[in-house]
Amino acid sequence: MMHDHPDIETLSAYGDGELPALARTRVDAHVAQCTSCRGALAQVRALVASAAALPPDAEPPEAAWQEIRARIRREAGPRRVRRARRAWIGVGALAAAAVVLVAGNLLSRPGRSDKHFAGGTSAAVAALPAGLASVDRNYVASIAELRGTLEQQGRSLSPHTVRVLEHSLALIDTAIAEARAALAADPANAALAGILSAQYEHKLGLLQRVTKLVPAT
């Protein structure tokens, strides 16, 4: 049996089950007979429980957001300038500009690629379940923003790439339109909601890849 009392750090390690077998056996035996050490061990355990129960959140001062917003606005400023400059340089190269115009039309017009949700958006969204409608709007907004970014940055795409992209977007839009129509008829169908979401993700992913992989002009 252990004659000296184990210190708090040893009791803490004992409580966490970290002591080697021999040391653990000795502390076991000591704690079984020592009221003082049982009390100390109980205190360590109470401390650990209290720490785990501390509320995770704390309210930051409102000024924190004001400062964050000011900082990100300062950083966003130069970015906007850079984008405008890239677009201007792109227009200077006629061949590239022609391609950009084709790509811009493809990526921005609501008539063809996005006719399924841009043309009849409000009626179709209204037919979706309430929870999904807001997600749907977020997707549509994100897709529109990506198209805007592509236009703004004057991306240069080869005619072949434009054809492939147009074809892919048309296929995805068809799938989106079918999923939306099916979901409007069966709003509680979670599988259809998942399919619609997956198609939106597919479209967003495609647009994002184009934005990132094609060098700016």
Partner 1 sequence: MTARLELVPEDRSAEMALARRAVAGDEAAFETIYRANAGRVFGLCLRMGGSRERATELTQDVFVHVWQRLASWRGDSALSSWIYRVAVNLVLSNVRGEQRRLTHEMPEDDPKYLQAESRNPTTEHRLDLEQAIAGLPRGARTVFVLHDVEGYQHAEIATMTGTAEGTCRAQLHRARRLLMEALNR
Dihedral over Cα of 163, 166, 168, 174: its sign? negative
Interface residues with partner 1 (CB under 8 A) are: 7-10, 12-13, 16, 18, 43-44, 47-48, 50-52, 54-61, 63-65, 67-69, 71-73, 75-76, 134-135, 138-139, 141-142, 145-146, 148-149, 197, 200-201, 204
Query: 119 to each of 4, 90, 125, 168, how far by Cα in Å?
Result: 82, 30, 11, 19
Task: Select 59 or 160, whichever has its Cβ closest to partner 1.
Answer: 59
Residue 165 beta carbon to partner 1: minimum distance, rounded to whole angstroms: 19
Q: How far is the CB of 45 from partner 1 (least distance, A)?
A: 10
Contacts of 45 (CB under 8 A, 6+ apart): 15
Measured between alpha carbons, how far is 215 from 51 in angstroms, rounded to an integer?
51
Nearer to partner 1, 92 or 148 (CB): 148
The Cα 175–Cα 182 span in angstroms is 11
Work out how close the CB of 93 gets to partner 1 at its nearest, in angstroms, rounded to a whole number: 26
Least distance in angstroms from the C-beta of 76 to partner 1? 6
Please report how many Cα atoms fall inside a 13 Å half-sphere around the Cα of residue 84, on the Cβ side: 6
65/88 with CB nearer partner 1: 65
Question: Whose Cβ is closer to partner 1: residue 149's or residue 168's?
Answer: 149
